[in-house]
Chain A
Amino acid sequence: MTDVELQLAVENLLARYVHALDDDRLEEWPDFFVEQGRYRITTAENFERKLPLAIIYADSRAMLRDRVSALRHANIYESQRYRHVVSSVLVERLEPELARASSNFQVVRIMHSGEATLFASGRYLDRIRIDGSGTRFEERIAVLDSRAVDTLLAIPI
């Protein structure tokens, strides 16, 4: 795989990921990760101070599926959707089938009332496995620029 092909493969993964979330196809979300994939949302403050606390933490697809089923069946929150905008994707090859990527994101949250706000901004720090079975996250860290979250963060970033 050439560098250009790698860049495109990573950008394609990042794009499919946010389309799935924004289209409310949450059930597809765990499949963007390898079986023992790690996912966490943290703040720039925690990240820079090397503090381990996360807002959401998972280290397997099973934990991600639990998050989806809790959102579908257990947790109560008002109807809302996100619109992710991802940009400035930097890709670095670490091994023939492993890449590191960092990208910027903004998330607009649109409530059922019509209220739309810039809900989150930050960067994704990813380790991505590219092999015969596809392109998936081994690790995805969403680092929020702000330490404050408005009301609640239900749908993943």
Chain B
Amino acid sequence: MSEVTQPRTWPREGLARVPYWVYQDSGVYEREQERIYRGAAWNFLGLEAELPNAGDFKTTFVGEMPVVVTRDERGTLNCFENRCAHRGALLCLADRGSAKEIACVYHNWTYDLRGNLTGVAFRRGIKGQGGMPEDAQPESQAPRKLRVTVFCGLVFATLSDETPPFERYVGAEVAARIRRVMKEPVRVLGGYSQVLPSNWKLYFENVKDTYHASLLHLFFSTFRLNRLEQKGGVIVGGEGGSHVSFTMMRTDSSGDEYEKAGMRSVSGGYRLEAPQMLESVDEYGDGITLQILTVFPGFVLQQIMNCLAVRQVLPKGPGRTELVWTAFGYASDDARMTERRIRQANLVGPSGYISLEDGAATGFVQRGVQGAAAHASVVEMGGRSVESSESRVTETSVRGLWQQYRAHMGL
């Protein structure tokens, strides 16, 4: 049987294998939009701090579906499809702004900030001529409203009534680690996007992959920011697709496991001339210098020393992903703390000392598996199951992603 006509069945090894067609197949991609993004999942929309005042709005996406997020005059956050009931045009064209109502530019149909259709231009015609029939029900095609939840200043939405309450969805331990970082009101420090030449799942796996961190990213290991022999762990939460990994820096910087194994990621004698970039303070009093947290299907919360950011992972086709970064600090930060966060932001983003490789590495997989749809990747570090681990030489949270993914997709 040719590769093309083979049915899409998961390898019998289960979570220890990820078939390459899952990153390539346009039918799989369409099904993800329906089963995951428009299904029983919490999609990250942004920080509550992005919409501080009544009337503030932003536009973003739930999967590929365009949505508007608003704060209405009662102060409540809303999310609805960015699609006019009339002809389906985008309602809101701006990335962000402030408004009392939302009007579609095409035929000036108007909506309130909760997404209710409030006006149809010339609905009764002009001087008895034209207009809609009495029994017309344009409201029947109104933009769909999403259920919104705000957890510690993070805004998520779902189209499904079945999606469990957020805390149950991510699990108590992951929820506690969100609370740890989102401990007080935050202030946005800026943002940018990184367009990745790969399937969204390759990026989401990358973030969960604690095994690669100190092997691909030399900057980390040379400066002993995340040596695997340091203390830390991985917690898998909810249905498997949410996780948190954490590292306590300098608890053991004397180990020489890397040197003994002759790893590429350690080169002797490399030192910073301006190490003040890494000068940091323990804001949480727990010695955790690095915490990376994900919520299925597309949210990342990052604490790398004092560099805090959220990342929204947006699929843009089977082989393309947009990563939307928003850096933040606390509203109580003084100028020195803000300066510290901005300096440390050199570590992340498209030019990040410890993240620029990720943009490329996921693309290397996307390109490497062309022609290998019937083959699969080997995900057996730390065993074949999904469980929390004290070791980070594990792919347990990657397997956790596939556990939840397969449940949603029926694969």
A contact residues vs B (CB 8 Å cutoff): 41-43, 45-46, 49, 51-58, 60, 62-63, 65-67, 69-70, 73-78, 147-154
Among B195, B267, B270, B356, which residue has the most Cβ atoms of chain A within 10 A? Answer: B356
Residues on B with C-beta less than 8 A from A73 are 218, 267, 270
Q: B356 near A75 (CB under 8 angstroms)? A: yes
For B343, give its contact among A55, A57, A67, A75 (CB under 8 Å): A57
Q: Does B393 make an interface contact (CB < 8 A)?
A: no
Number of A-B contacts defined by CB within 8 Å: 115
* Beta-carbon contacts under 8 Å, B99-158 to A: none
Residues on B with C-beta less than 8 A from A60 are 274
Residues on B with C-beta less than 8 A from A54 are 190, 342, 345
- Asked, given contacts A41-B351, A42-B190, whether A153 binds B356 with beta carbons under 8 Å apart, the answer is yes
Residues on A with C-beta less than 8 A from B189 are 51-53
Assembled-state Cα–Cα distance A53/B197 (Å): 24
Binary interface profile of B, 200-226, with partner A (CB < 8 Å = 1, else 0)? 000000000000000010110010000
Q: B342 near A55 (CB under 8 angstroms)? A: no
Task: Pull 18 A–B residue pairs with CB atoms less than 8 Å apart, ordered by A.
Answer: A43-B190, A45-B95, A45-B191, A51-B188, A51-B189, A54-B345, A55-B192, A57-B342, A57-B346, A66-B273, A73-B270, A74-B353, A149-B192, A149-B193, A151-B196, A151-B350, A151-B359, A152-B351
Q: A74 near B345 (CB under 8 angstroms)? A: no
Q: Does B380 make an interface contact (CB < 8 A)?
A: no
Q: B343 near A52 (CB under 8 angstroms)? A: no
Q: B356 near A148 (CB under 8 angstroms)? A: no
Question: What's the minimum C-beta distance from B274 to chain A, rounded to whole angstroms?
Answer: 4
Q: A151 near B194 (CB under 8 angstroms)? A: yes
Q: A74 near B192 (CB under 8 angstroms)? A: no
Q: A63 near B274 (CB under 8 angstroms)? A: yes
Q: A52 near B192 (CB under 8 angstroms)? A: no
Q: Does B272 make an interface contact (CB < 8 A)?
A: yes
Q: Name A42's closest neighbour in chain B (CB-CB).
A: B190
Residues on B with C-beta less than 8 A from A151 are 194-197, 350, 359-360, 363
Q: A66 near B272 (CB under 8 angstroms)? A: yes
For B274, give its contact among A43, A62, A147 (CB under 8 Å): A62
Q: B342 near A53 (CB under 8 angstroms)? A: yes
Q: A77 near B277 (CB under 8 angstroms)? A: no
* Beta-carbon contacts under 8 Å, B315-369 to A: 322, 327, 338, 342-343, 345-346, 349-351, 353, 356-357, 359-361, 363
